[in-house]
Amino acid sequence: MNDDESTCAEVVELVSDYLDGNLPAPEAERVADHLSGCPGCTAYFEQVRATTAGLGRVTTEDLPTDVRTNLLEAFRVSRKSEE
Amino acid sequence: MAEVPGEDAGLVARLRAGEEEAFALLVDSWSASMLRLARSIVSTEATAAEVVQETWLAVVASVDGFEGRSSLRTWVYRILVNAAKRRAAQEQRAVPWASLRLTDEPTVDPDVFQGADEPYPGHWRSFPEPWPEQVTLSREVLRVIRAAVERLPAQQRAVITLRDIEGCTGPETCELLDLSEGNQRVLLHRARAAVRREIADYLGKDGE
């Protein structure tokens, strides 16, 4: 808890933009000040940061093999027809 | 054929020359994320796979006309998004792409903050529990994240997929999804907050 003007309820709505560096300088500074004095918002901010890190590790399923085979075949055919 | 500037030049030239290896490499690198993005617009996995296939066929057919005004990836993804939206319209699935309604409701439950009659209004009642280090390396947590993304409203799902899963920039995402920068940021913020909450619920439940 500190005596800056932002409440925690306001800061949690800014952390995503803060994380991406999308806040105008004065606002970013206000968030940084708040975070430095507020363990609760710091914990929340770290959780959002960890969430984006986790999202970055999500792997995606591959294209079904038969679709891939068809595509390569289509590529061969289309390129041949242009020669 | 238009001269393509920049880093895509070599790849585009190989595609135009009919180098199957180059095409296979592209298909293998991008199809998974294209499937996920298509899946956020159309209603089934099968349709998403068809949309991806349709997209690659369109790429093959029109790579000669690619002018390099955007990156190759943005161009391909743009074809994908348009194809997926067309399919969604045919399916008559009520996808709220056109009617974007952004609420400014808080993303964090207001009850966790003190009320007006308490000593520190708007400040935490009790601090959120810090997560264990490296929590998102856990296979189970990744499963929770995947499921959470799957449950998001379509636009939030598409934005968080492009930004945080695929690593697209904000401007790329806006261009692909026809969103303003402000809307894109709000959607990303809400999506991240929702996924965070599901991880927190999971960790709380399992007491890790």
- Domain CATH for A59: 1.10.10
ipTM over 0.95: no
State the Cα–Cα distance between residues A60 and B64, nearest whole angstrom: 29
The rounded mean pLDDT for chain A is: 88
Q: Tell which B residues from 101 to 130 touch A, by Cβ distance under 8 Å.
A: 106-108, 110, 113, 120-124, 126-130
- Give chain A positions within 8 Å (CB) of B60: 71, 74-75, 78-79
Ranges A15-19, A79-83, B33-37, B177-181: which has the least confidence: A79-83
Query: Residue B207's pLDDT is what?
Result: 45
pLDDT for B139 beyond 50: yes
pLDDT interval class at B37 (50, 70, 90): confident
Q: Is B153 an 8 Å CB contact of chain A?
A: no
State the Cα–Cα distance between residues B10 and B128, nearest whole angstrom: 50
Cβ distance B108 to A58 less than 8 Å, yes or no, reads no
State the Cα–Cα distance between residues A19 and A45, nearest whole angstrom: 8
In angstroms, how far is CA A9 from the centroid of its own chain? 21
pLDDT for B64 beyond 70: yes
CATH topology of domain B6-91: Rna Polymerase Sigma Factor; Chain: A (1.10.1740)
Q: Does residue A1 sit within a domain?
A: no
State the Cα–Cα distance between residues B181 and B98, nearest whole angstrom: 16
Cβ distance A57 to B52 less than 8 Å, yes or no, reads no
Name the architecture of domain B110-206.
Answer: Orthogonal Bundle (1.10)
State the Cα–Cα distance between residues A28 and A51, nearest whole angstrom: 20
Q: Does residue A31 sit within a domain?
A: yes
pLDDT interval class at A58 (50, 70, 90): confident
Per the structure, the count of domains in chain A is 1
Cβ distance A16 to B193 less than 8 Å, yes or no, reads yes
Which sign does the torsion angle of CA B52, B54, B60, B62 carry? negative
Cβ distance B188 to A48 less than 8 Å, yes or no, reads no
* Residue B154 or residue B148, greater confidence: B148
Query: Residue B97's pLDDT is what?
Result: 57
Mean pLDDT on B3-19: 87
Query: Residue B154's pLDDT is what?
Result: 83
Phi-psi label, residue B178: left if phi above 0, alpha if psi -120 to 50, beta otherwise: left
Q: Is the pTM of the predicted complex or chain greater than 0.95?
A: no
Residue A33 domain boundaries: 8-82
Ranges B25-29, B64-68, B94-98, B109-113: which has the least confidence: B94-98
Mean pLDDT on B75-85: 93
What does each C-alpha distance from B147 to B65, B73, B123, B133 come to in angstroms?
39, 26, 31, 22
pLDDT interval class at B153 (50, 70, 90): confident
Q: Is B55 an 8 Å CB contact of chain A?
A: no
> Is B110-206 the same fold as B6-91?
no
Tell me how many helices (H) and strands (E) chain A has.
Answer: 5, 0
State the Cα–Cα distance between residues B159 and A82, nearest whole angstrom: 38
Quick one: which H or E segment has residue B141? helix B139-151
- Give chain B positions within 8 Å (CB) of A52: 164, 192
The DSSP symbol for B180 reads -
Cβ partners under 8 Å of residue A24, min gap 6: none
Q: Is B15 exposed, middle or buried (0-12, 13-18, 19+ CB in 10 A)?
A: buried
| Coil, strand or helix at B114 | coil
Distance from CA of A39 to the nearest CA of B (A): 7
What does each C-alpha distance from B40 to B16, B48, B157, B159, B198 come to in angstroms?
31, 9, 6, 9, 19
pLDDT interval class at B89 (50, 70, 90): confident
Mean pLDDT on B22-39: 90
Quick one: which H or E segment has residue A45? helix A39-56
Query: Residue A1's pLDDT is what?
Result: 45
